[in-house]
Structure 1
Amino acid sequence: MTVTLVPSLPTLVTPSRPDPLGVLGVPGEINLDYAASAPCARAASDAVAELLPWYASVHRGAGALSRRCTLAYERARQTVGDFLGARPDDHVIFTRNTTDALNLLARALPAGTTVVTFAGEHHANLLPWPRGSVRLPVPDGPGGAVRSLDAALSELSRDARPGLPVLVAVTGASNVTGERWPIADLARVAHRHGARILVDAAQLAPHAPVDLAVLDVDYLALSGHKLYAPFGAGVLVGRADWLDAAPPYLAGGGATSHVGAATHEVRWATGPARHEAGTPNLLGAVALAAVCEALAGADRDALHAREQALVARLRTGIAALPHVVELRTFGPDTPRVGIVSFVVAGRDSAEVAAHLATAHRIGVRDGLFCAHPLARRLLTEAATRSGRRDLPSTALRASLGLGTTRSDVDALLAALATLS
C-alpha cells in the first residue's frame, strides 16, 4: 500500500520581477510574510547546487573535497564580512540565526556588564541579557530614542562602578512596524559615554545596506533566513576582544587548540573557531554569502525606491479602509522598511489571516510577532488613536521583499476591503 505523506508541491519558479537575486516563488501564491522567513533566492540555490557534489567535511580533512569545502566556508566568511563592512580586526562568527548570535554575545559579556535596551525590541534582543540590565521605555520618535539613551547612560556613569562595561543593544528596524531606528546617532551617544553598541540587523539588512564601519557600531547580528538564504545560518560580527576572552559558546571539536588527558588540560582557540565548535553549517554559510554577493552587486538605491513605493501604496490603501488601523511607534512619516502591521476592527486576527490564505491565497503573519511588550502597547495606542473599542488583541503583519509586486499589494487591499 502506498501512503502519501504530503501533497505534491507545485514547481518553484523565478517570477519575472525586477530583483537581482531571482527570488523563488509558487505560482498563484502571494507571499507577504518576508519578515518571518524570506523565500530562497536563486543566487543561494545555485551556489548550494554547485557545491553539493563536493560536499564534505570542513576544517577536518586533507582530501580534495574537504579542502574545497573548507575554502568555500572561509570564502563565505570573508564575503559576508565584506558585505557588512567588517573591520580588519572584527570576528565574523557563523551562528544559526540572530537569536543564536545574540545569545552568543550575551554569554561573552565581561562580568558586570550592564546591557541597555529599549522595550520595543524583539524577544531575541530582550531575553538573553543578564539580570540588572536596563530596559528603556519605547520612545515617541527617533529623536526621543537618542535623548533617552543619552540620559540613561549619563545616569549609569554616575551610579555604576567605574570601569564596568556597558553594551547598548538596539534593533536596526522594528520587526513589528518596520520603522527604522537612528543607529548612527545612537552609536555616537553610546561611544561618547564609553559604551559599546550592538545592532540587531535581522530586519534592516534585507532592505538596506548595513555597514559596521560607516555606522560605527561594535557588533551586528542577522539571520540568513531573513536575507533570502535558507539552511539556518546567521552571523555575529564585531570586535574581537570580548569574544576571544569569553569561554567558548559551545565546547567541542574545532574550538580547541589542545586537549590533554586531564579534564582541565584544554587550550581554547581564538578567533571565530572558538565559538564554532562541531561541524559547521557549510551550505548555510555558502548560501548566505551568495546572497550577500548578489546584493552587493545590485543597485540598492533602485531597490529601495521600488520598495518604498510599494510600502507607501500599502499604507495609503490601509488608511483608506475605515475598519483597518495601522500600528506604529513613531510618527507616520518615519523612515521604514517593507513591514506594515495592522488590525481589522471587529475581526480576530488569526481568523483574518486564515481567511486571506484560504480565500485569496495571500500569506501574512498574525499574532504579537515575538515582540509582545511592543505589540501590546501599540494595540492599546491604536485603539486610543482610532477611537475604536472593537480592535482585536493581536495583529496582522504584511511584509514585503524583492519578489513583491504592485499587484500583490493591491490584492491584499482588495481582500481587506471585503471584510468591512
Structure 2
Amino acid sequence: MTVIVDRPHAAARPIAPLGDVVGAGQNVFTAAGPARYANLDYAASAPALTEVADGLNSALSQYASVHRGAGALSQVTTARYESARETVRRFVGGRADDTVVFTRNTTDAINLAAHALPGDVVVLDIEHHANLLPWQRTGRARIVLAAATFEETAEALEAELAVSPAALLAVTGASNVTGEVLPLRRLSALAHRHGARILVDAAQLVAHRPINLAGYGIDYLVFSGHKVYAPFGAGVLIGRPDWLDAAQPYLAGGGATARVDADGQTAWHTGAARHEAGSPNVLGAVSIAAALDAVKGTGFELIGYHERDLLTRLDEGLDRLPGVRRLHVFDDLADRVGIAAFTVDGHAPRAVAEYLNDRHGIGVRDGKFCAHPLLARLGHPEGAVRVSFGLGTGSGDIDRLISALAELVGA
C-alpha cells in the first residue's frame, strides 16, 4: 500500500502519465513552430485509451447485427453487447435488478429519465444543462438555488423536499466547471428521508472516483463513454426498473416490441429493450466496457494519487500568477476531480484559450461550459477558462500551461 507521507511534494518531482492514450504524441502548429499537443480538455471529451482502441478493432472485425440474428457473428456481437451491460453494472456497483440502458450520451440518458419521471423533480441551479433542461421541459422541475456553502445548500434542499413531496432529486456527482465532488451518500440519504429517489449525473465522476449504487443508495446514474476514454456517442442510464418499465417506450421501433399487429395493437418489451428501439451503437457500448475495464485495471487508488498530485501542482501554479483567479462553487468542499476553472484579469476567456493554443499548442476549454446559471452565480456571465486532465496527463503538461500563462500575464 502506498504511504502518502513518503511521497515527495507534487511540485518537486516529475509525474508521468498513468495511461497510454491515442494521439499522445500528436504535433500541432504554433506561432513558434510545431509542438507536441498538450490536451488539457479531458472534461469535454477524454482521448481514447489504447486498450479501448485495440478492443474496438477486435470487435470491429467481427461486427454484425445484434439480438435477432442466427448467424455466428451476430451471436458474437450480441454476446459482446450484452456483456457490456454487465461490465457497467459491476463497475458502478449496480443492483442485480437494475436496468442498464445504452443511450447516445449523458444528455440522452437524462432525457430518458425525464421521460419516465412520475412526479416532481428537485434540482440545483449549478447543474450542467443536460441535468437541468430535460427536467424543466417536463414542467415539474423545482429549482433550488445553491448557497455559498454545501451545508447551507443541503439545508435548502432539505427544506424544499420537506415542503412538498417530490419523486426525484437530480444532482451532479462532480461539477463540470470546477471539479468539486458532492457528498453523494449524504444527498442520497437526504432524498430518501423525504420519500424521493436520487439520480446522479456522473459524467465527470466515473473516470475519477469509484461509485457504488447499492452502497451509496443511488437510484439512477448516468454517464457518457466519451468522458471515460471511449470514443463514439454512447452513454448509459442504470437504475431501478419500475419507472422505466411503466413509462412509454422512449422511441417507437423495432427491437422494443414483443408483438406488433396491423390494427395497431402493440406489446412492448420491459427492461432495457423497451427503450433501445432501432439498431444500437454496439461498438460504442463495447468501447465503454473496454474503457471501464481499463480504468478498473489501473485502480482508483493510483488514479486518486495521480490526480491529487497534478491538482496540487496546477493549483499552486495558478495561485502564483498575478490576476489569475480560480473558481469554486462551495466554500466548504475540498475534494475535486481533475478540473480547474479560472479567469485572467484583463483577458477574455476566449482570448486566453486562443493564446494557449496558437502560441503554445495547449488545448483548454473556454466559455460557460453548458452551465450558464452557475457561471452567472459565480459572477462570470461571460465565462471562464477550464483546464481538465486524466490518465494521459503528466506534470510536463501542467508545467507548460503555467509557463504559458506566466508569459501571458508577464509574471
Letter of the 1:48 counterpart: L
User: What does residue 95 of structure 2 align with?
Assistant: 87
Which blocks of at least 5 consecutive residues in structure 2 are unaligned? 1-14, 27-35
Q: How far is the alpha carbon of 1:184 from its aligned partner?
A: 0.7
Report the equivalent of 1:351: 351
Question: What aligned pairs does 1:16-415 form with structure 2 within 5 A after superposition?
Answer: 17-20=16-19, 22=21, 24-27=23-26, 28-110=36-118, 113-129=119-135, 130-157=138-165, 165-263=166-264, 265-331=265-331, 334-380=334-380, 393-415=382-404
* Per-residue deviation, 1:17: 4.5
Aligned-partner Cα distance in 2 for 1:370–1:85: 29
Question: Any idea what SS the aligned residue of 1:55 has?
Answer: coil
1:361 deviation in Å?
0.2
Secondary structure of 1:261's counterpart equals: coil
Shift of 1:97: 0.5
| Counterparts of 1:238 and 1:332, CA distance in 2 | 30
Residues in 1 aligned to 2:115 and 2:332: alpha-carbon distance in whole angstroms: 38
How far apart are 1:375 and its partner, in Å?
1.1
**Conservation of the 8 A alpha-carbon contact between 1:23 and 1:403:** no
Query: Which residue identity is paired with 2:392?
Result: G
Contact 2:342 2:385 (8 Å CA) reproduced: yes
**Which whole-Å CA distance do the structure 1 matches of 2:175 and 2:200 have between them?**
12
Task: Give the conservation status (yes or no) of the 8 Å contact 2:260–2:266.
Answer: yes
The Cα of 1:333 is off from its aligned counterpart by 5.9
SS at match of 1:418: helix
Distance in 1 between the 2:81 and 2:245 partners? 21
Distance of 1:336 and 1:24 partners within structure 2:
26
| Aligned counterparts of 1:371 and 1:193: Cα–Cα separation in 2 | 28
The separation in 2 between residues aligned to 1:32 and 1:249, in whole angstroms, is 36
Q: What's the CA shift for 1:20?
A: 4.7
Instruction: Judge conservation of contact 1:23–1:228 (CA < 8 Å) in 2.
Output: no
Q: How many residues were matched structurally?
A: 384
The SS at the match of 1:297 is helix
Q: Distance in 2 between matches of 1:356 and 1:398?
A: 11
Q: Percent identity?
A: 53
1:20–1:294 CA contact under 8 A, matched in 2: no
Distance between the aligned counterparts of 1:83 and 1:148, measured in 2? Answer: 32
1:383-405 deviation per Cα after TM superposition (whole angstroms, max 9, x unaligned): xxxxxxxxx82210000111111
* Residue of structure 2 in register with 1:385 after alignment: none
- Provide the secondary structure at the position in 2 that maps to 1:379: coil
Q: CA deviation at 1:349?
A: 1.1
CA RMSD of aligned residues (A): 1.5
Residue 299 of structure 1: CA displacement? 2.3
C-alpha separation between the residues in 2 aligned to 1:17 and 1:253? Answer: 48
Q: Is the 8 A contact 1:146 1:185 kept in 2?
A: no
CA distance in 2, matches of 1:315, 1:283: 38
TM-score (norm 2): 0.91
Write the distance in 2 (CA, Å) between the matches of 1:144 and 1:227. Answer: 32
- Asked whether the equivalents of residues 170 and 200 of structure 1 are also in contact (C-alpha less than 8 Å), the reply is yes
* Runs of 4+ with >3 A deviation: 20-24
Q: Tell me the CA shift for residue 248 of structure 1.
A: 0.5
Query: Do the aligned partners of 2:19 and 2:49 also contact (CA within 8 Å) in 1?
Result: no
CA contact (8 A) 1:24 1:41 kept: no
2:173, 2:200 within 8 Å by CA — same for their partners in 1? yes
The verdict on how the C-alpha distance between 1:194 and 1:114 changes in structure 2, with shifts beyond 3 A counting, is: same
Local SS of the residue matching 2:53: helix
- Contact 1:225–1:233 (CA<8 Å) still a contact in 2? yes
Between the aligned partners of 1:20 and 1:357, the Cα distance in structure 2 is 23
Distance in 1 between residues matched to 2:43 and 2:270, nearest whole Å: 34
Q: Is the 8 A contact 2:16 2:395 kept in 1?
A: no
Query: In structure 2, how many angstroms separate the alpha carbons of the residues matched to 1:404 and 1:142?
Result: 30
Distance in 1, Cα, partners of 2:21 & 2:271? 34
SS of equivalent residue, structure 2 residue 295: helix
* Cα distance in structure 2, aligned partners of 1:212 and 1:194: 18
The aligned residue for residue 387 of structure 1 is none
One-letter amino acid matched to 2:350: A
- Higher RCO (C-alpha under 8 Å, 6+ residues apart): 2
Q: Distance in 1 between matches of 2:155 and 2:89?
A: 31
Task: Encode CA deviations 1:145-198: one digit per residue, 9 max, x unaligned.
Answer: 3222111111114xxxxxxx5200000000001111111101001101110000
Structure 2 partner of 1:418? 407
